[in-house]
A and B are shown apart, each in its own frame.
Chain A
Amino acid sequence: MVCLDPILNDGSFTAGEKPPATGSLIVFENVFHRYPGRGKQPPTEAVYDFSAALDPGSLVCLLGPAGCGKSTVLNILAGFEKPSQGRVLVDGKEVKKPGPDRGMVFQESNLLPWRKVMENITFGPDLAGEPKKATLKKAERFIKLTGLSGFENHAPYELSGGMKQRVALARAWISEPPILVMDEPFGALDAQTRLDMQELLVRVWEKTGSTILFVTHDVDEALFLADRILIMSPRPGTKILDLTLPLPRPRVYENLVVNPQYATLKREILLAMRRPDYAI
């Protein structure tokens, strides 16, 4: 494929690359997405030729500035939106609609206020008609993992923002879907709570082996969480950098910030994100 756009024609540019189709749980194949314009306005190119292949069990962050189309990429994987071109494969099958094989965590917790914390967590299994006893057992495990013990019978509106996101995590995780899709789930939390939640996320992830695609605009968050970071350009969003992080786990944030590797990686990411030819 020939790239005609001069700003995209660069060494680090990966448009048109054919992703390996074997061994990957999630494959984005040359995904384009444009939103139709309103009235006489031209359509908005949100995603431009995005390709990537995600290994099972990996934690991948999709990093980019606000409005770069990263949420669109995620919504296409979730099945909420259809790509204008290209396709997304999960386990070799094309994504057509949302489904319980891809758990979702959103920026808003989207808890159901008419259900107690426990009932929110068991909502998925309840819908699927799974036996109560087994569901409660699974719920107990994730209540412990997410630090919600003692809050089972609280109403969602009695919880703080961080606690709400814990419930949202437990709810997405209870059925242990092979894939978890997270759209800036900690974006609305204060800095301290966000660190706690990031640690919590890694802890639960290590115990479950889910594949996570985590969208964020926070470079530090991506560096703390990810095995691999996909960096997107401003709109129309495309992949401009694909970094596999050599940072060892367990990662401790206090140590990470003085790790020279961390600094080098952060610099590389910032340089890619802030390149003048991407500035509008």
Chain B
Amino acid sequence: MIGSSVSPGLSPGLSPGLAVLISVSSVLLFLGAWYVCGRLELLSSAILPPPEEIWYTTVDILRFGYHQIPLWKHVGVSLLRALTAFALAICAGVPLGLAMGLFPVLSSALEPFVQFFRPLPKIALIPLAILWLGIGEVSKIFLIFLSTLFTVVVGSAASVKTVSRGKLRLGAALGTNSWQLIYHIILPASLPEIFTSVRLAIGVGWTTLIASEMVAADSGMGWMVMNASSYMRTDLVLLGIILLGVTGYLLDYALVLIERLAVPWAGKE
């Protein structure tokens, strides 16, 4: 029953099968309501096209592409930009964040910059990105990179603080030197938190995709949405939104799977 699953950890919760069934039904119910709205013509299709119209648009776009570019290329181009930026942000952000967590001097030196850039709307940087890096791929990747980087840095720095004092004392009692303590205790103990911050950061970075594809792009899911909106193609806008949402969801799910493999102990201590 609904009431039995209110308190996390106290009730046994739903079986995985039932949980999926409920999620699928709720999506179907939503689509059904949307369909009925269209059927009853409650909204004009320029405002909110019914689901079947989006389906026909999808079939059409799959067959002929958008602006002579096949749909998979739009998706692929966006993914390539985003994944490149994410990879760079993780490679730079995790070590930098860990170093900040470990060394207070570095943290104090970099904290003002991190806290300045992290909440900054990255769209504001578009003119500078174009000025410095041109209108090619580099400036687009740079914008996604920036919006991902700072969340990763802050999360990784904070993850160091979550290592329990008991574990640090254990390391000290067993005679670890500083590097052993970092490598054998602090780093693995921080991993679950790092994964959480990477997931958050990728969520933030993905939202910057549209902004980055406003920079003189001629392909990509974000560009498709912006371009279609200028022609009042609400059906295409919605298709783009659905694609962005689903791809973002799949990206996050892929990360969850990697997390399960890499840190199977997360949340079980």
Interface residues of A (CB under 8 A from B): 78-80, 97-100, 102-104, 106, 108, 110, 112-114, 123-124, 127-128, 155-157
> Could you say which residues of chain A place their CB within 8 Å of the CB of B188?
112, 114
Structural contact, B175 and A110, CB atoms closer than 8 A: no
Chain B residue numbers with a CB within 8 Å of A79 are 172
Chain A residues positioned under 8 Å from B175 (CB to CB): 98-100, 124, 127-128
Nearest CB of A to B132, in Å: 42
Does B170 sit within 8 A of A, measured CB to CB? yes
Question: Which B-chain residue is minimally distant from A177 (CB atoms)?
Answer: B173
Contact of A110 among B164, B176, B265 (CB under 8 A): B164
* Residues in A whose Cβ lies below 8 Å from that of B169: 78, 80, 98, 104, 106, 110
B180 at the interface (CB under 8 A from A): yes
User: Once bound together, how far apart are the Cα atoms of A100 and B268, in whole Å?
Assistant: 29
Give the distance in Å from the alpha carbon of A104 to the alpha carbon of B176 in the complex.
Answer: 14
| B248-269 contact mask (Cβ, 8 Å, vs A): 1 or 0 | 0000000000000001110011
Min CB distance A188 to B, Å, is: 12
- Is B265's CB under 8 angstroms from A113's CB? yes
Which of B170, B263, B268 counts the most A-chain CB atoms under 10 A from its CB?
B170
Q: Are B264 and A112 in contact (CB under 8 A)?
A: no
A155 to B265 CA separation, bound complex (whole angstroms): 8
| Additional 16 contacts, C-beta under 8 A, given A98-B169, A112-B188 | A78-B169, A80-B172, A98-B173, A98-B175, A99-B175, A103-B173, A106-B166, A108-B164, A110-B164, A110-B167, A112-B189, A113-B269, A114-B188, A114-B191, A124-B174, A156-B265
Report the bound CA distance from A215 to B174 in whole Å. 20
Task: Tell me if A78 and B265 are in contact (CB < 8 A).
Answer: no
Compute how far the CA of A99 lies from the CA of B264 in the bound complex, rounded to whole angstroms.
Answer: 31
Say yes or no: is B185 at the interface (Cβ < 8 Å to chain A).
yes
Residue of B nearest to A128 (CB): B175
A106 to B172, CA, bound (A): 13
Report 15 cross-chain contacts, Cβ distance below 8 Å, ordered by A residue: A98-B172, A99-B173, A99-B175, A102-B173, A103-B173, A108-B164, A108-B166, A110-B164, A110-B169, A110-B170, A112-B189, A113-B269, A123-B184, A155-B265, A157-B268
Cα(A250)–Cα(B196), bound, Å: 52
**Bound CA span A100–B174, Å:** 5
Smallest CB separation, B169 vs chain A (Å): 6
Which chain A positions have C-beta within 8 A of B184? 112, 123, 127
Of A98, A155, A156, which is in contact with the most chain B CB atoms at under 10 Å from its CB?
Answer: A98
Q: Chain B residue with minimal CB distance to A107? A: B166
> Which residues of chain A are near B265, meaning CB under 8 Å?
113-114, 155-157
Complex: A80 Cα to B165 Cα, angstroms: 11
Contact A112 B185 (CB under 8 A): yes
